[in-house]
Amino acid sequence: MARLILYSILIGGLLQGCSSGLLSVHRPDVQQGNAIEESQLEQIQVGMNQRQVRFLLGEPVLKDPFQGDRRWDYVYYLKPGDGPAAYRRVIIFFEDGLVSEIRDSGLHK
């Protein structure tokens, strides 16, 4: 009888631990695209060539097949396992191989 009570208390304690989050499921972070720092983006200026942009930001995630090398898209997505997702998109337009416009959506959470 004492064993039954001991087992009941043990099982009850384990179930209580599961419901309180002590034995929660691990969810890994999901990161995709180019992580762009503000300091990197601030260095990009109108008139820079494509090689300079690639050096600062890396290879673009998307190149529009209809725009050719006239538009580069840098997309960043981060979904922490235990938090809200963050999203950012930077589009750089080129004319004659030089930066003509920079569009930044900012970091959205």
Q: Is the residue at 16 inside a domain?
A: no
CB-count burial class (<10 Å; 0-12, 13-18, 19+) for 70: middle
Q: Is the residue at 10 inside a domain?
A: no
Tell how far CA 79 is from the center of its chain. 6
* CATH code assigned at 94: 3.30.1450
Q: Is the residue at 9 inside a domain?
A: no
For the stretch 69-99, pLDDT in tens is 899 999 988 888 888 888 889 999 999 999 9
Looking at the 3D structure of the chain, how many domains does it have?
Answer: 1
Q: Is the residue at 4 inside a domain?
A: no
| Encoded tokens for 88 | 């950012």
Strand ranges, E, within the chain: 30-33, 62-63, 71-79, 86-95, 98-104
Q: Is the residue at 12 inside a domain?
A: no
Residue 89's domain comprises: 27-104
| Encoded tokens for 76 | 């960043």
| Encoded tokens for 45 | 């200026």
Q: Is the residue at 8 inside a domain?
A: no
Q: Is the residue at 47 inside a domain?
A: yes
Q: Is the residue at 64 inside a domain?
A: yes
For the stretch 29-59, pLDDT in tens is 887 887 888 899 899 999 999 999 999 999 9
Half-sphere exposure of 63 (CA within 13 A, CB side): 10
Q: From 76, 103, 79, select the one nearest 87 (Cα to Cα).
A: 76
Per-residue confidence band for 17, with pLDDT thresholds at 50, 70 and 90: low
pTM for this prediction: 0.67
